[in-house]
Amino acid sequence: MFGILKKTLGAAAKEVKAEYGESKDFLEAICAASALVAASDGDIEESERRKVVSIISNHPTLSKLYQSNIIEQTADTMFKRAKDVSGRQQLARELDDIKSRPDGSQMAEDVYLIALDIANSDGEIEPQEDAVLKKIAARLGIDASKFDF
């Protein structure tokens, strides 16, 4: 019986990896949303970038989908873009990339939840972070009130 369960769970894990890990769009959207949250106060600190990389690298699903060096490189790219207005607009466009995918609505919710984790990683969501989270939710086409618990 446990052998069947193990095979079923293993197949499900491979299916998730095939859907989400096949393309970097999901990781890029997560890192883009995280960089937007980190830049919300107008100052991006190295500690914030490290925190984002740590949260993504230690996430139970994401750590299996993407190698740590890919996570680090993608986060670095997105954080560099977050330094000016045109770069932040490019980050917003990264969010658009997942919406057109067949699994885009689930990806959008996952991206939002990780951005929420980033904003709350110091124990409190600042007003600037909350404003950016609302913009991210709107851009992704999700109802942020679903996650108010």
- Render pLDDT for 109-124 as a digit per residue (tens, 0 to 9): 999 999 998 998 888 8
- Architecture of the domain delimited by 2-147: Orthogonal Bundle (1.10)
- Comparing CA positions, the residue from 36, 37, 48 lying closest to residue 126 is 37
pLDDT band with cut points at 50, 70 and 90 for residue 19 = low
Cα separation, 10 vs 15, whole angstroms: 9
3-class SS at 59?
coil
pLDDT at 21: 55
Cα separation, 103 vs 108, whole angstroms: 9
- What is the pTM (predicted TM-score) of this model? 0.83
pLDDT at 23: 74
pLDDT at 45: 83
